[in-house]
Copies of this chain bind each other. A is one copy, B any other.
């Protein structure tokens, strides 16, 4: 997985299109980026193989699935030694309510993106699991009201 891959303008167009619609057919994609289907497919395969494209995901509507609570938690630990950080990171992977987690620098050590069916479930999780976990010092919570912007991870210029 090279940290710097040489991508031309067509590669960037492919990435932009697949970030907007990851299920687009290859012929549609090739038409949009201006080449024929076979080289387009070869480029996509290459981008997958070198790790530029990490995978594909359906985006789900959490409220419609009965997941009414989306929240972020900022966690501060008592001790930030390397193995302590790894231990907590491993713990987050065992909590289904935690969907994404980041180790961060700043006022907190971890940021957790949480989804739960209702407020009671989330509060129980925060009190009985999160705040009770070893080495956890502070837990700050931000309940989401609504999503305001939802683009892919990488921005593309308007070319």
A interface vs B, CB < 8 Å? 1-5, 7, 15, 18-23, 50-67, 70-72, 74, 89, 92-93, 96-108, 110-111, 115, 140-155
5 new A-B contacts, CB < 8 A, other than A1-B64, A93-B148, are A19-B58, A51-B64, A62-B154, A100-B150, A106-B140
The answer to whether B60 touches A19, judged by C-beta atoms less than 8 angstroms apart, is yes
Q: What are 23 residue pairs bridging A and B, where the CB atoms are less than 8 Å apart in the complex?
A: A1-B64, A2-B64, A15-B58, A19-B57, A21-B56, A23-B56, A54-B60, A57-B57, A62-B154, A67-B153, A74-B142, A97-B155, A99-B149, A99-B152, A101-B147, A102-B144, A103-B147, A104-B142, A105-B142, A105-B143, A108-B142, A111-B144, A115-B153
B53, B59, B148: the one within 8 Å of A55 (CB):
B59
Chain B residues with CB below 8 A from A100, complex form? 147, 149-151
Minimum C-beta distance from A92 to chain B (A): 5
The answer to whether B148 touches A89, judged by C-beta atoms less than 8 angstroms apart, is yes
Q: Which B residue's beta carbon lies closest to that of A146?
A: B103
